Amino acid sequence: GIQVEQSPPDLILQEGANSTLRCNFSDSVNNLQWFHQNPWGQLINLFYIPSGTKQNGRLSATTVATERYSLLYISSSQTTDSGVYFCAVPSDSGNTGKLIFGQGTTLQVKP
């Protein structure tokens, strides 16, 4: 089955710094999602981005489907950005039921 790898596993930043999180996947996908898991455990969808670039405030994401990777950019980081970031892809094309998650990147933003 499809494999999803995220890097780095851990990241510590000073407030105001920028960061880039990476997600590699082993097969072509028709959808990719980035999630932020808050300290209470809830997964919040940040982006649906099977290809191209999207921006939402200080966050943006780019997926290069032909090269099987996606990047999540966080600019001017704030302490509230702390948490775990996951990327997830469908287990197979058109399957809206089963998402395969990476291991996550744990981000800590220090004041």
Partner 1 sequence: DAGVTQSPTHLIKTRGQQVTLRCSPKSGHDTVSWYQQALGQGPQFIFQYYEEEERQRGNFPDRFSGHQFPNYSSELNVNALLLGDSALYLCASSPRGSYGYTFGSGTRLTVV
Binding site residues, partner 1, CB under 8 A: 4, 31, 33, 35, 40-45, 48, 86, 88, 90-91, 95-104
Sign of CA dihedral 76, 8, 55, 66: positive
Closest CA to 109 of 6, 10, 14: 14
**Minimal distance, residue 94 CB to partner 1, in Å:** 9
**Minimal distance, residue 78 CB to partner 1, in Å:** 22
Nearer CB in complex with partner 1: 17/101:
101
Distance from C-alpha of 58 to C-alpha of 65, rounded to nearest angstrom: 23
To the nearest 10°, report the CA torsion of 47, 100, 89, 8: 60
Nearer CB in complex with partner 1: 14/40:
40
**Minimal distance, residue 13 CB to partner 1, in Å:** 20
